[in-house]
Chains A and B, each alone.
Chain A
Amino acid sequence: MSNFKFPPINSLLHSELRLKIVVALDSLQSADFMYLCQITDSTRGNLSTQITTLMDAGYIDVTKSGLGRFSRTTCSITSKGREALRNYEDGLRKIFSQEVPAQEEQKMINP
């Protein structure tokens, strides 16, 4: 029986696009939709869906300003989102630094 303990990993952040959005917002005060589109190299539709998911989880705040064609969506990270990112990153680093037994590793890949 091994003593290995797998730290809980945030499934919401375990998606490349959502992770990129949260990391980008963590380094900034706020960013608009265009900027996130450019930095994440994603399509508008996909980005919009992921932003809604993160907003529903309370990880980011979304503000809409302007009207019609000139409307602007600005996103900023919340303290909850910042904490989730820290925990996620710490968890990954912990796993990376630990010796994972082959049996546990197999469980992680095929739970």
Chain B
Amino acid sequence: MKVFITDGTAEAFFTAVFDAYCERDCIISSDRQIQLALDSQTVCVDKDMQKCQRVLSAVENCDRYAADDLVLALRSCNPKKEQIAFDYIKKLLQIKRPIRKRLSLTEVIALNNLLYKVTGEAHRLKGLLRFMENADGILYAPYSPDNNITDILMRHFAERLKCERFVIHDVRRKIAGMYDGKSWIMGYADQAEICLSANEIAFVNLWKKYYKAVNIEERPHEKQMKGSMPVRYWKFLPEKQQ
């Protein structure tokens, strides 16, 4: 059995699909700690734009929205994401029509579950991201999401805070999106040193005060709160710091 190892990018994945499509029994993964079977043979795949293009056009011939879905699913933190996407492509090319509505197929269910997790977290973090203002008026938001969604958030906030300058920093993956008031770019960012603006602490305190005051103590329902706002996100929420 062949195991195709990619570097985690979408291009490398599509290249791997090109190589793996004709194999009878193979796995695609970007997980370096994958458990290998005894007879397995690993192949490291580097991205090849030509192969990638050919796979993409084959996919688009069947369903012109499928490529977007696949790219979105590949942002997931699920270690099996490449295999799930690969299975979906195989099914798609076998049926040769859009399969997104065939909701009882296992391949579609698996891909939809990935999409649900990714878009769900992106939506949740549109609310739970917290900016702090530095001395120059630049807004800085550190966070550590499960899935790789920083550029989805960049798009949202670039539309919303059009005249501000801001940085969204994924601390776990060490990447940051930066917006300068006109356009945004993504880049590598290890550590950030922030000097807060004069008002920052005062507004954080006001927000904490507000958070405390708006709660109705006679109706406690902690479970609901933790369900909607999981504890792993609390690290970056000022209202949850003492």
Are A and B genuine complex partners? Answer: no
Q: Name B's A-contacting residues (CB within 8 A).
A: none
Q: Which residues of A contact B (CB under 8 A)?
A: none
